[in-house]
Structure 1
Amino acid sequence: MERSVEGAVRAQRLARVAVGCAGAAAVVLVAMIGLRGLGVVLAGLVGLAVAAAGVWWALAYRGPVRLFGAVLAVAAPLWVLGFLVNSGMGVAALAAVALWTGAMTSAAGALRQDRRQRTARETSARRPVRPVLIMNPKSGDGKVGKFDLVAKAEALGARVVLLDGQDVSELAQQAVRDGADLLGVAGGDGTQALVAAVAAEHRLPFLVISAGTRNHFAMDLGLDRTDPSRCLDALTDGVELRVDLGAVAGRPFVNTVSFGAYAEIVQSPEYRESKAATALGALPDLLANRIGARLTAQADDTRLEDPQALLVSNNAYETGDLLGAGSRPRLDAGRLGVIGVKLEGAAQAAELALRGEQAQGLTVLTARQVTVTADNGTIPVAVDGEALTLPTPVKCEIRPGALRVLVPRDRPGATAVAPLRDWRRVGRLALGR
């Protein structure tokens, strides 16, 4: 969808603010600090690289080396600050940092305003006559009860089925056999995916109710995650989005499939009780390839050898969010997002901190199909956060436009993560191009 005139004007204004702040930061460094401004830049880059190396040692080792890395990760930024203060450049440096922060923030805002695609194109939708909603009372710390979703849904004419250990896919299939003309879910993303697959199979509209813990799929659909009852507005005044659906080894997913370190960690029985401690205990062996499967991924024509972590997503996440924890600007591009991480030491960790997506240890691409093989017959896989074990090879595919999603006409909209700053594009926006 094309930008509105108002959005274009906001994009231009933000781009001009970004260019102005960036220029002012440069002036501060040159005029107020002179040649010492180069020292500020170099000190900042060195501190960032050293801190990143410290984080690597803290994650990849145990004992004294881990302690040394943690100390280094904290001490490096403090050293940079002390260097600036002792050199008499503290005030000017802080002013330059503040201006540069303003430039980066404004640039991100301008690029978001300039985005021309929405999550998916809207089409008109008929009001469902026999909607069936499957609700998990335990999901999201009891959001179904907290927001009185059962009563509100039934008041709008929906039949509600409460989950209590049943097979959610079979519940959805039974609802179709009973004549449902819409399937919906109030629960986590894993449950959403299972019912979505049934809706796609029968070409029925699908309703997402943001009653899970994180609700990534709901967020990227632009739904209200603070009040899941607002999702029910789609039953009376809804529009339809046609979006893609992922599949891993034939199992549907709406967000992500993880292989490697994260998938290995979530298999641990201790993970649910103590996530941080479990991850810190397992990471040294995983990063050094002492335990866990050694993976190879084929993403269309690109081969990824021995990644320590691999994330495959239903459409690509913002390139500014390399861990896949943010948002997807589109859900109908018909492509899987692929992020592979392979770090072989502190130097590559530092490079990742400095160069981001351009770092040698990071691969970011899109593909229509990803096949993961390993030196083991089975591998752990995390599908929309759920821990599974699947036989190799594991094939990930995308089904373009497979899912008809009914959403409220009036909804907050997706909360996008800032993309990486393309300063040439920001400059063109500032000039009104």
Structure 2
Amino acid sequence: MSTPYTPGAAFPGRRTTARPGPVAAALLGQGAAGLLSHWDRRLFHTVATRRWPGAEPVLPRLSRAANHGLLWFGTAAGITVLGRGVRSRRAALRGVASLAVASAVINTVGKRSVRRARPLLDAVPAIRRLERQPFTTSFPSGHAASAAAFATGVALESRGWGALVAPVAASVAFSRVYTGVHYPSDVLAGLALGAGAAFAVRELVPTRDRLPSPGRAVAAAPALPRGEGLVVVVNQRSGSADSAALLRDALPLAEVVECGPRELAGELEGAARRGRALGVFGGDGTINLAAAVAVERGLPLAVFPGGTFNHFAYDLGVETVDDTCRALAGGEAVRVDLGRFTPGPPPGPGANGSGTPGSGTNGSRSAGSSRGARPGYFLNTFSLGVYPDLVRIRERWSPRVGGWSAGVLAAVRVLRDGRPLEAVVQGRRRPLWLLFAGNGVYRPVGPTPGHREDLADGLLDVRVVHGGRWPGLRLLAAALAGPLSRSPVHAAEQLRAVRISGLRPGTAMAYDGEVVPAPTDLTLDKVREALTVYRPRNLR
């Protein structure tokens, strides 16, 4: 009996399947890698043969502009110049640092690990092709890695700038396929490596939103949505001419008072009597004065940074008006320490850190030279030696040549003509170029003291540069050494109190940017968690 014929059967009566074509057979033989390569080439061909309206005059130029990271260095400069506040500068710096890490990884490891040839340009229209074709291997895309690293680094610090940079970065990445110099998988791998580099940099140098709270959380600060019950005093010498208008727009229910430096003390006292919370717009000196009034009246303080440096506000994590407004709306605040300098002998056993700040230039004017004088307070730093002289000369020249130029001229003048002071520190007489005390421990960011992670640690960051030759080199060595070090030229310790005596009459001291005559004897210590200040729990 005959068996029915089955078309395509190899042998009569035996069941078989159809044979794969040559392309499918090749892909099956190569496995997943072959399949991915096949779709990679098909996608590249689709991009190359498709017409993209408006892309021809833009994408090739954009791709060339990104050579050697020039586009991103220019973008970083633009963010620094156009951005307001330290957050923009920090976003630009983080973007460049992430780009540098990504480029180093791509050029030393990535390109050498997978030696993939560049795509053929047959399907790419001549108008899209780059004038100079790259000579390195194709995988991964260095341009895509740099674009992703820069954009991700910027976005980790500033969502606003990140949203503006991201479309440009995506366009640069796409341009590498559009111009025919990379396969899509090259670009995707570059994007992943670039983003990974940005996150790796964040692990080494955390963004502000990943740092711990700089103070002790407060649950009792009143919530003041839209500024209801808040009185803000604006130092007219700080910020721009529209600073008060900006505050009124952001906090329509707040009372905003503008005044000059001479009226600050009186206006702050009056504002403290009228409001449920005291607000202040200005630099570190103005905030110092407001902090003294807030502590005396038992009020929380709302800080709006408006000075040149704004060290206290930035260490607190408050960098914009929006930051403070969010904290006010939610009643979010922390308690922080105040540094204190007391003329005369050390405070007795009854001084438990609840002293009442006095009035003065920054909350305590001149410390005076008599025993029993009221203490002064500092939010950031206290110093004796060359720094007060530097500040005095800088302030004299800054109206003529600008702040930064005046600072350089003052440093040259002080290091050339300065003389070490004589003082008894912790019972030991010594010549000093500088005695620095920080309200809280300054953590190094790079080679110099950068910021404080804890404003309620109960410690003074004390650094001393001993007298001798070459003060500039001694000061540089002390800056490079960090917060805990000791050498023949400098010493750094973390203390709860420092006793200083034997100062000559007329010796200058500086605190929070103010320079005043120092008493002959004084003690530095801390007032623990004395100040309540608004600060959002979650930084953006």
Class of the TM-score when normalised by the shorter of the 2 chains: 0.5 to 0.7
After TM superposition, give the deviation of residue 169 of structure 1 in Å.
Answer: 3.0
Identity in percent: 29
Q: Aligned letter for 1:181? A: R
The answer to whether 1:183 aligns with 2:278 is: yes
8 Å CA contact 1:209, 1:229 repeated in 2: no
**Does residue 333 in structure 1 map to residue 438 in structure 2?**
no
SS at match of 1:307: strand
Q: Is the 8 A contact 2:211 2:453 kept in 1?
A: no
RMSD between aligned alpha carbons?
A: 3.7
> 1:304: Cα distance to partner?
7.4
What is the deviation of 1:242?
A: 0.8
Secondary structure of the structure 1 residue equivalent to 2:510 = strand
- Aligned equivalent of 2:440: 315
SS of 1:139 mapped into structure 2? coil
Corresponding residue of 1:215: 310
Is this contact kept in 2: 1:322–1:339, CA < 8 A? Answer: no
Contact 2:421 2:432 in 1 (8 A): no
Deviation of 1:232 after TM superposition, in Å, equals 2.4
In structure 2, distance between residues paired with 1:347 and 1:160? 46
Show CA shifts across 1:233-256 (max 9, x none). 322123110111112342221111
Report what 2:333 is aligned to: 240
Equivalent-residue separation in structure 1 for 2:277 and 2:471 (angstroms)? 53
Unaligned runs of 5+ in 2: 1-97, 109-196, 343-374, 401-405
Q: Which residue of 2 aligns with 1:121?
A: 216
From 295, 302, 320, the counterpart of 1:200: 295
Residues 502 and 521 of structure 2 are in contact (CA less than 8 Å); yes or no, is this contact kept in structure 1?
Answer: yes
Aligned to 1:381: 509
Alignment map for 1:77-88 (pairs within 5 Å): none
The equivalences for 1:10-409 within 5 A come to 109-110=203-204, 112=206, 117-124=212-219, 125-128=221-224, 129-142=228-241, 144-145=243-244, 148-153=246-251, 155=252, 157-178=253-274, 180-224=275-319, 227-249=320-342, 250-268=375-393, 270-272=396-398, 273=400, 274-286=406-418, 289=419, 293-298=421-426, 305-319=430-444, 324=449, 326-342=450-466, 344-345=468-469, 349=473, 352=477, 356-357=481-482, 358=485, 360=487, 361-409=489-537
**Aligned match of 1:65:** none
TM-score (structure 2 length as normaliser): 0.49
The SS at the match of 1:283 is helix
Alignment partners' CA distance in 2, 1:264 and 1:143: 33
Amino acid in the other structure paired with 1:235: L
Q: Hey, what's the Cα distance between the residues in 2 that align with 1:408 and 1:120? A: 12
TM-score scaled by length of structure 1: 0.60
For the 8 Å contact 2:301–2:533, the answer to whether it is kept is yes
Q: Is the 8 A contact 1:141 1:213 kept in 2?
A: no
Q: Which runs of 5+ in 1 are unaligned?
A: 1-13, 25-102, 413-433
Task: Answer with 1 or 2: which has the greater Rg.
Answer: 2
Distance across 2 between alignment mates of 1:347 and 1:331? 30
CA apart distance, 1:322: 7.1
Figure out how many residues of one structure are paired with residues of the other and give that number: 302
Residues 124-155 of structure 1: CA deviation (Å, up to 9, x unaligned)? 3431452111111320354615x7223433x1
Q: Which 4+ stretches in 1 moved above 6 angstroms?
A: 105-108
